[in-house]
Amino acid sequence: MSRNLLASLSALALIAVFTGLTGCTATGPIYQGVERVEEGKALVYIYRPPRSMGSGVTYHVHVGSQEDDNAIVKLQSGGYFPYIAQPGETEFWAKTESTTSVTLDLKQGETHYIKGGLGIGFFIGRPKLSVVDNSVGASEIKECVLLEPITTEKKE
């Protein structure tokens, strides 16, 4: 293969990768905190700060065991989702070519923040979930917009 052809193919590959890593961020109403949580429940904000790199990569965040496969939101760059949860030990997880998870011991009336991120993967970005301090989460989430929940339609 000639040197010029190889250089052209490499440049095209880099452009394709960069285009896949940049792209759309979430659109929707700007962050507005949940005013009141139903008695006996906990509040978990799941958010992903806006970033240009990797914004084209999204992933579903699930709650519960991986066997249940209960997706609650498609997490996009610049988006957040308030999840009202039952108290107790609860696992949140996401998967592309690798899986990440965090487990929280939720207590009624408490608020928690789970920050989504993206790591470098072989074919697609790898999701990262981490529990952050409430002061960090409350500050970072202000840049985000509300994401729609995933609704599952019953097939008949």
- Residue 18 and residue 13: Cα distance in Å, rounded? 9
Domain ranges of the chain: 24-146
Beta pairing, strands 99-106 & 88-95: antiparallel
Tell me: the pLDDT tens digits for 84-130?
Answer: 999 999 999 999 888 899 999 999 999 999 999 988 777 777 899 99
Cα first-last separation, the chain: 56
> How many CA atoms lie less than 13 Å away from 13 in the CB half-sphere?
7
The answer to whether 79 touches 48, Cβ cutoff 8 Å, is: yes
Tell me: the pLDDT tens digits for 4-42?
Answer: 545 544 444 443 444 344 345 576 788 988 999 999 999
CATH of domain 24-146: 2.60.40.2890
